Amino acid sequence: MKRAIFPGTFDPFTIGHYSIVERGLSFFDEIIIGIGLNNTKKTLFSVEKRLDLIQQAYELETRVKVMSYNSLTVDFALSVHSDYVLRGLRSVGDFEYERTIADANRKLTGIETVILFTESKYSYISSTVARELISYGKDITAFLPPNVKI
């Protein structure tokens, strides 16, 4: 079985994230969306709320699981028997960061990183932009996966 983890803070999980997972399902038998707990990051939503929002998006998809973790991403991947990390790229800036992490992960554990480019129609969407809009009371429904309500 080909299993990948899709790690992130997902505060909130956007339509761009959703698109990466949906496209990733054509390469992997199972994808585990891993919400990484990072005590240095200030989040808008609790981990429980983020788990719930992502589970709403995949309530009918048995090949997607949602979990949280409080460890290095590669240690999480090993703990769930995953040989792959799935990541999405929006920009050149993302590439440099992701490449460095992917190289370190491969050196430490042999885990490969598979990168999918964000669909251009979603390239402007980020969790940061979504949080900013929420803070000003804007409706972000168009930024969220189908069936997800904040």
Q: Which of 17, 19, 50, 82 is catalytic?
A: 17
Q: Is 2 a catalytic residue?
A: no
Strand, helix or coil at 148? coil
127 assigned to active site: yes
From the candidates 90, 106, 126, 131, give the one annotated as an active-site residue.
Answer: 90
> CA 57 to CA 46: how far, in whole Å?
17
Is 41 an annotated catalytic residue? Answer: yes
Exposed/middle/buried for 144, CB within 10 Å: 0-12, 13-18, 19+?
A: buried
81 is catalytic: no
- Which member of 26, 41, 120, 149 is catalytic? 41
Residues whose CB falls within 8 Å of the CB of residue 57, separated by 6 or more in sequence, listed in order: 13, 18, 145, 146, 147, 148
Which residues are marked as active site? Answer: 17, 41, 90, 127
